[in-house]
A and B are shown apart, each in its own frame.
Chain A
Amino acid sequence: MIKLENIRKKFGNLEVLKGINLEIKEGEFVILLGLSGAGKSTLLRTINGLVAVCDGQVTVDGIKVSDCKDTVRQIRKKVSMIFQQFNLVKRSSVLRNVLCGRLGHSNVLNTCINIFEKDDLENARECLKRVGLLDKIHERADKLSGGQQQRVGIARAIAQKPKILLADEPVASLDPKISKEIMGLLKKINREDKITVIVSLHDLHLAYEFGERIVGLNHGRIVVDKSVTELNEEDIKKIYESCDVADQGPMDIFQVDTGKAEYKYV
């Protein structure tokens, strides 16, 4: 379903992905673990073409991802995404936000003058029902709580009828109880709709509770890739250790800097 071959990505001089090889089968539930800055968000975004790779090949459902407009549009119809900050259109209604999930599938000019297919409206209601927010359908998005907003984000994502759902730290700004609800919902969608789900997380507890396959990322490299039941202490260390030589560089510079500053005031 998804195949990443030797993916490299640089932002300026910073190499964020250093040769990623990963294959994910249809219907899998994959949790992507890694420290802040490990490259989780970047990796997820190479799959739907929000980030263009520098080297290597991403293949999604048999289509090679490129920056050709038609290809990108074709891929994005199959891949939906949810975000840490929910990224809803705050001043728009819940319904309108969910309908956004249909934009890639609909006639551009019709949607711009607010004409949607009857099926799309029906589908939007259906999706809201699944996330338990049908009663909020006409509410403004920013009137909802964080957990509810993420549910709308999920409704928007499944309204797209995707084959793959990418979730970039979907619970990082939610409290533990709500986090579990959201993770449960993602798992349910994975089971019931056979949608391939990739979730990036940094909370290990959630990974243990909901995880099946765990992929660990550290400094742009995959350091762990196994079933959650096989995960051992060694693996956790590999994911969360950051005492790379590269990391000490900035620290040294910082100390030299403060040294100078002190000298000035003596």
Chain B
Amino acid sequence: MYKVKDFLLKLSQKKAAFTLAVIAFYVWSAFGVNLSIINIIEGIPNIADFISRMIPPDFSILDKMVEPTLETIQISVWGTTLAIFFSIPLGLLAAKNITPNNFWYTLSRQILNFLRATSELIFALVFVSAVGLGPFPGVLALAFHSTGMLGKFYAEAIENVDKGVIEALEATGAHKLQIIVFGIVPQISPEFLTYSLYRWEHNLRQATVLGIVGAGGLGFELITSLRLFKYRETATILIIILVTVTIMDYVNSKIRNKVIGG
């Protein structure tokens, strides 16, 4: 009886200590980022002023924006395609049930971790200084980071396939390559498609900001208009981004439904 009481007391003490620690951490972080409601309230007039200068949007630049919009889409398409291309072999090597040995497994996992940990914007900064301004460094930035994401997703999908099927194919004397093509590909194709399309969607949104660091597309126009205080143009560009992303999301979900549903 006493033992149980002691036990419960200890438990609640631990819980209380933990709760306090979490609260302390939040308060400390709030000071770190100058989190303050007063600042927000004081900022409201500025925000209102900014928005009023954006109205009405300047649609006369629409025809000039066609090219950067298409460029943004092109960046996302190539960034995603290259990523898919590179993440397939990496994903296979990084899947426990199909990797040839521990060396390849560890190496591919480390590469994927590094690619995933480095954000698109950092890659873009690096590639802009390496290959110069323009859409190409944008493509590379998306391709590198997305390879890290897709490779990990593919590896997980491969690790989740039905073991029995792999065993059955092994029992027929099939080569590893045949096991991949006949056993694994059909099993992971729905996930493969979902992840890849989702990544494309994400890359399109990402492509609209890459231009801020000089990697082509709408982002470049966006940052230029802001620097020149042409806020009415900024508004137009934001609307274009919104419309483009919405349309592509719609196209994406149509493709997904068509392929997976059918």
Interface residues in chain A, defined as those with a beta carbon under 8 Å from any beta carbon in chain B: 48, 50, 72-77, 79-81, 83, 85, 87-92, 96, 100-105, 108-109, 111-112, 153, 156, 160, 264-266
> Nearest Cβ in chain A — how far from B128, in angstroms?
40
Q: Does B18 make an interface contact (CB < 8 A)?
A: no
> Nearest Cβ in chain B — how far from A169, in angstroms?
12
Task: Find the residue from A77, A91, A103, A105 having the highest chain B CB count within 10 A.
Answer: A103
What A residues does B181 contact at CB under 8 A? 111-112
Contact check, B172 vs A156: say whether CB atoms are below 8 A apart.
yes
Nearest CB to that of B183 among chain A residues? A89
What A residues does B1 contact at CB under 8 A? 266
What A residues does B170 contact at CB under 8 A? 50, 76
Q: Does B186 make an interface contact (CB < 8 A)?
A: yes
Q: What's the A-B contact tally at a CB cutoff of 8 Å? A: 80
Known interface pairs A85-B164, A91-B186, A100-B182; A108-B169 also in contact (CB < 8 Å): no
Q: Is the interface of A mostly helix, strand, loop or mixed?
A: helix
Q: Does B113 make an interface contact (CB < 8 A)?
A: no
Alpha-carbon distance A74/B189, docked complex (angstroms)? 31
Contact check, A103 vs B172: say whether CB atoms are below 8 A apart.
yes
Contact check, B186 vs A92: say whether CB atoms are below 8 A apart.
yes
Contact pick for A77, options B162, B173, B189, CB 8 Å: B173
What B residues does A87 contact at CB under 8 A? 162, 164-165, 167-168
Contact check, A108 vs B177: say whether CB atoms are below 8 A apart.
yes
Alpha-carbon distance A76/B169, docked complex (angstroms)? 10
Contact check, B178 vs A112: say whether CB atoms are below 8 A apart.
yes
What B residues does A153 contact at CB under 8 A? 168
Contact check, A101 vs B172: say whether CB atoms are below 8 A apart.
yes
Alpha-carbon distance A77/B174, docked complex (angstroms)? 9
Contact check, B165 vs A104: say whether CB atoms are below 8 A apart.
no
Contact check, A103 vs B168: say whether CB atoms are below 8 A apart.
no
Known interface pairs A89-B187, A92-B186, A264-B4; A83-B168 also in contact (CB < 8 Å): yes
Alpha-carbon distance A88/B181, docked complex (angstroms)? 14
Alpha-carbon distance A93/B29, docked complex (angstroms)? 57
Nearest CB to that of A109 among chain B residues? B177
Contact check, A50 vs B182: say whether CB atoms are below 8 A apart.
no
Contact pick for A76, options B173, B182, B183, CB 8 Å: B173
What A residues does B186 contact at CB under 8 A? 89-92
Nearest CB to that of B176 among chain A residues? A108
Contact check, B171 vs A50: say whether CB atoms are below 8 A apart.
yes
Interface residues in chain B, defined as those with a beta carbon under 8 Å from any beta carbon in chain A: 1, 4, 162, 164-165, 167-175, 177-178, 181-183, 186-187, 189
Contact check, A112 vs B171: say whether CB atoms are below 8 A apart.
no
Contact check, B165 vs A88: say whether CB atoms are below 8 A apart.
yes
Contact check, A160 vs B165: say whether CB atoms are below 8 A apart.
no
> Nearest Cβ in chain A — how far from B253, in angstroms?
21
Contact check, B172 vs A160: say whether CB atoms are below 8 A apart.
yes
Alpha-carbon distance A102/B172, docked complex (angstroms)? 7
Contact check, B172 vs A100: say whether CB atoms are below 8 A apart.
yes
Nearest CB to that of B175 among chain A residues? A108
Alpha-carbon distance A74/B183, docked complex (angstroms)? 21
Known interface pairs A87-B162, A112-B177; A81-B171 also in contact (CB < 8 Å): yes
> Nearest Cβ in chain A — how far from B175, in angstroms?
5
What A residues does B4 contact at CB under 8 A? 264-265
Alpha-carbon distance A91/B170, docked complex (angstroms)? 18
Contact pick for B167, options A50, A73, A77, A91, CB 8 Å: A50
> Nearest Cβ in chain A — how far from B195, in angstroms?
17
For the complex of A and B, the 9 pairs showing the least CB-CB separation, nearest first, are: A104-B173, A76-B173, A87-B168, A103-B174, A87-B164, A81-B171, A91-B186, A108-B175, A112-B181
Alpha-carbon distance A156/B171, docked complex (angstroms)? 11
Alpha-carbon distance A73/B169, docked complex (angstroms)? 12
Contact check, A89 vs B182: say whether CB atoms are below 8 A apart.
yes
Contact check, A96 vs B182: say whether CB atoms are below 8 A apart.
yes
Nearest CB to that of A159 among chain B residues? B172
What A residues does B183 contact at CB under 8 A? 89, 100
Contact check, B171 vs A103: say whether CB atoms are below 8 A apart.
no
Nearest CB to that of A111 among chain B residues? B178
Alpha-carbon distance A160/B4, docked complex (angstroms)? 65
Alpha-carbon distance A103/B168, docked complex (angstroms)? 11
What B residues does A102 contact at CB under 8 A? 172
> Nearest Cβ in chain B — how far from A160, in angstroms?
6
Contact check, A103 vs B175: say whether CB atoms are below 8 A apart.
yes
Known interface pairs A89-B187, A111-B178; A83-B164 also in contact (CB < 8 Å): yes
Contact check, A81 vs B168: say whether CB atoms are below 8 A apart.
yes
Alpha-carbon distance A39/B31, docked complex (angstroms)? 64
Alpha-carbon distance A88/B165, docked complex (angstroms)? 6
> Nearest Cβ in chain B — how far from A152, in angstroms?
11
Alpha-carbon distance A160/B182, docked complex (angstroms)? 16
Alpha-carbon distance A266/B183, docked complex (angstroms)? 55
Some 16 contacts from A to B, beta carbons below 8 A apart, are A50-B171, A75-B173, A80-B171, A81-B168, A83-B167, A89-B182, A90-B186, A96-B182, A100-B169, A103-B175, A103-B182, A104-B174, A111-B182, A160-B172, A264-B4, A265-B4
